[in-house]
A and B are shown apart, each in its own frame.
Chain A
Amino acid sequence: MLGDAFCRRYARTHDIVAVCRTRVPAVASQHESFVDPLAPDADLADNEARVFTVMADLEQPGQVDRVVELALARHDRIDVLVNGAGHQRHHPRGLVDADGAVQDLSRHLAVNVAVPLQLAVRVAQLFWRDRAAENRAENRSVVNISSLSGSRVYPRLGQGVYAASKAALNQLTRHLADEFDAFGVRVNALAPTSFPGLIPTEDVADAIARLDRETITGRVIAMEDDRPSR
């Protein structure tokens, strides 16, 4: 959902490699394009900006390496890494109800923490680590998509396991920022409240683009529902 919104808003201004497990964004890509059924040979403006889609299950061995290598092969550079993949399963009957929450912990940590770490490390190893001056000139960065649940407790929603994984991602973000500062890459996290329920998904996409333009690092930016309560 967030990836789709980001691609639709920024495909014209960014060269995007969209990593997809099952769903692809509703924008033109190397595999999909728009066609006017009544003028099938017409050139459509919608097709001018195309993303490069890579189908990958990032939990599987070797897939992180494959994705990074494909992105570099396609564009010769990576300026911003957006870690938007996420796993979310709530346990509304609580953490002590049977073993569901305990069993779900490892997958939450794998998708929400280990995969962002692997991607950031692999991009650093293959491209960023020895380009400090260039990285600073290009203002390169990592944006991890976290959640307000990573720093707050919403009672009785069963978010304990999910929230713990996002809290881990927040702290990982700070540590990555500290280490990546050596070669000039900023690392931040965006922690939105529920979208699109409480804030528009497009607002979160825009916040990613803003973080890409900023100069801050090591921050976890909260995005709350600031609409007046009704």
Chain B
Amino acid sequence: MTGTGLDPADLSTVLAHRRWVRRSLPFPHVVAQNVFVPAFYDELERHFEHIKQAGLFQKNIRNYDAGSVLVRDHADGPLGIFVSRPWHDLVAGLFGVRATGDVTAGLHHHPPGGRAGWPHNDLNPGWFGGGWPEDDEIRHEGVDDIDYQLGPTRPGSEGRETVRGVSVLFYLDNPDWRPGDGGETGIYPSSDAVQRGTGIGVPPVNNSLVMFESTPFTWHGYAGHSRHERNSVVMWVHRRKSEAVQRWGEQSIAYW
């Protein structure tokens, strides 16, 4: 339960409505505005702001002009909803992905005027420790001496290699956004289209989200040039690597 008595484990009590929008272009994705009821969104924003004011954001993502924090380390507050099993199942269910229960989620903070990110498709591997999670279980990244990107970091530790299955981006704690403010997430029909800039922008409007199945074709990236700071939660559920290889081939996996 949260301070307002809302129970994030019961998503029906914190979602503001149940009419999200599924779009097919430039690749299949789901968008939603006013995702959470105002009382719960306010809690998410306060939690995010608390972490930001505590100076916990670190620029630790290579070639990426943003500070980040793992939600895993703050899962006991409202933001923990993004690494909860109900949220994991909702995300996987929207795209029919047989997700493993392995989750990684981060808070991102871009300063005003931050550089654009590099275009990528998110079909990356992700390592987790322990056995395959049960149906009601969540497994976080970076535990049991397993590095999310590199795998086992200590002789004798055993890890499981998965592949990202669905990507989620949720905007919060941003100044009011208006056209021309920049800071959108660009989503593109192809890698060539990234060069031409012929995609669509998903603006950083608070309490809105975009999510999509991670495939070889889901080219996207932070468009940069934001007039204001730009804050978000990014989150992935994962699928078994064998499934991704069978579907798209080993060469399609974007190794770190």
* Interface, chain A (partner B; CB < 8 A): 30-40, 44, 46
Q: Is the CB of A31 within 8 A of B19?
A: no
The contact of B30 among A30, A31, A35, by CB within 8 Å, is: A35
Contact (Cβ within 8 A) B18 A37? yes
**Can you list 30 contacts pairing A with B, beta carbon distance less than 8 Å?**
A31-B23, A31-B25, A32-B21, A32-B22, A32-B23, A32-B24, A33-B21, A33-B22, A34-B20, A34-B21, A34-B22, A35-B22, A35-B30, A36-B20, A37-B11, A37-B18, A37-B20, A37-B30, A37-B90, A37-B93, A38-B11, A38-B12, A38-B15, A38-B18, A38-B90, A39-B18, A40-B93, A40-B94, A40-B96, A46-B19
Indicate with 1 or 0, residue by residue over B87-98, a CB within 8 angstroms of chain A CB atoms: 000100110100
B142-173 contacts to A, CB under 8 A, are none
Nearest chain-A residue to B91 (Cβ)?
Answer: A37
Q: How far is the CA of A44 from the CA of B32 in the complex (A)?
A: 16
Residue of A nearest to B25 (CB): A31
Assembled-state Cα–Cα distance A40/B20 (Å): 10
Question: How many angstroms from the CA of A46 to the CA of B27 in the assembled complex?
Answer: 22
Contacts of A38 in B (CB 8 A): 11-12, 15, 18, 90
Binding site for A on B (CB under 8 A): 11-12, 15, 18-25, 30, 32, 90, 93-94, 96
Q: In the complex, what residues of B have CB within 8 A of residue A37's CB? A: 11, 15, 18, 20, 30, 32, 90, 93-94
A102 and B21 alpha carbons, distance in the complex (Å): 42
Docked Cα-Cα span, A83 to B11, in Å, equals: 44
- Contact of A31 with B32 in the complex, beta carbons under 8 Å: no
In angstroms, Cα B20 to Cα A37, docked, is 7
Complex interface: chain A residues within 8 A of B32 (CB): 37
A32 to B20, CA, bound (A): 10
- Which chain A residues border B24 with CB–CB below 8 Å? 30-32
Q: Which residues of A contact B15 (CB under 8 A)?
A: 37-38
- Which residues of chain B are near A36, meaning CB under 8 Å? 18-20
